[in-house]
Copies of this chain bind each other. A is one copy, B any other.
Amino acid sequence: MTIRQLTHQILQKKSFLCIGLDVDLDKIPQHLLAAKDPIFEFNKAIIDATHDIAVAYKPNTAFYEAYGLKGWAALEKTINYLNNKHPEVFTIADAKRGDIGNTSAMYAKAFLQDLGFDSVTVAPYMGKDSVEPFLAVKGKFTILLALTSNEGAFDFQVQGAGNGELYKKVLETSKTWQGSDNLMYVAGATKAEYFKEIRKIVPDNFLLVPGVGTQGGSLKDVCRYGMNSRVGLLVNSSRAIIYAGTGEDFALKAREEALKVQQEMKEILFQV
């Protein structure tokens, strides 16, 4: 998928909503547990109920690995379903990987080529040669952690490094890497006041924004400081949407919750 296609989809759906598919078997409707593959059945129902108002889906790999082989099979089925039934949506493997070069190349193969995700999240701590193997995959995107939505972000990311804070150093340095055209960044909604600084360094790149919803970030603030001429934002909500209902009508409840966010997005898109 190209940035142009992504922006086109956003304007068409009047939405820049990404839904996080973080499936916890203790939290999904209990009637699904009788199914052969409850994780996939849950995802399929959520996707079918929301694909016209969400532009991206983001399974977090931790939730699949926690169920071993069964979980990995459900992840494969979920990305195959998205690629076959809804090829217009943008897919994100929220994996937060990063290792020495030959190892990162294996992760890039796993997520971007074999599983066929459009993008994968990557941690920057190990620097250039840990990220470039992801950037080398043509037509795919690498979403680098810059400023995350959690409390622990204050431990290192906003520490001084060079002429600014570490997250700024990450943004600046990453622009010099081979394949940097394929970069997007994670910037947490809980730190919307930092978005002005982020946009000074990366005005054009898409930002994947977690932290709206359960984590408490404000959509309006994120848009005020983070939006650019190509919209440039994918705002994620996971738990607040997918666990909105616990009964047989859970997918409908998820849609209702997603619609609330999408309505807010629509207003912002056509007024800002």
* Residues of A in contact with B (beta carbons under 8 Å apart): 22, 24, 60, 62-63, 65-66, 68-69, 72-73, 76, 94, 96-101, 103-104, 106-107, 109-111, 114-115, 123-131, 145, 148-157, 159-162, 166, 169-170, 173, 210, 215
Nearest residue in B to A173 (C-beta to C-beta)? Answer: B155
Nearest residue in B to A188 (C-beta to C-beta)? Answer: B100
Most B CB within 10 A of own CB, among A60, A66, A73, A151: A66
* Complex Cα spacing A66 to B105, Å: 9
By a CB distance below 8 angstroms, the chain B residues around A101 are: 150
* Complex Cα spacing A156 to B144, Å: 14
* Complex Cα spacing A103 to B61, Å: 9
Verify A123–B151 contact, CB threshold 8 A: no
What are the 9 tightest A-B residue pairs by CB atom distance, in nearest-first order? A127-B152, A127-B155, A62-B106, A159-B161, A66-B106, A128-B152, A129-B152, A65-B110, A100-B150
* Complex Cα spacing A215 to B103, Å: 13
| Least Cβ–Cβ distance between A108 and chain B, in angstroms | 9
| Least Cβ–Cβ distance between A77 and chain B, in angstroms | 11
Known contacts: A69-B69, A69-B73, A151-B129. The answer to whether A97 contacts B62 by CB under 8 A is yes
* Complex Cα spacing A72 to B98, Å: 19
By a CB distance below 8 angstroms, the chain B residues around A115 are: 68
B73, B109, B127, B166: the one contacting A150 at CB < 8 Å is: B127
Nearest residue in B to A63 (C-beta to C-beta)? Answer: B106
* Complex Cα spacing A63 to B110, Å: 9
* Complex Cα spacing A110 to B60, Å: 13
B24, B154, B160, B210: the one contacting A161 at CB < 8 Å is: B160
Known contacts: A68-B72, A72-B72. The answer to whether A63 contacts B103 by CB under 8 A is yes
Question: What would be 10 A-B contacts, judged by CB atoms less than 8 Å apart?
Answer: A62-B99, A68-B76, A72-B72, A98-B123, A123-B123, A124-B155, A125-B157, A126-B157, A156-B170, A159-B162
Nearest residue in B to A150 (C-beta to C-beta)? Answer: B100
Known contacts: A128-B151, A151-B128, A152-B128. The answer to whether A97 contacts B96 by CB under 8 A is yes
By a CB distance below 8 angstroms, the chain B residues around A97 are: 62, 96
* Complex Cα spacing A156 to B127, Å: 7
By a CB distance below 8 angstroms, the chain B residues around A160 are: 160-162
* Complex Cα spacing A145 to B125, Å: 8
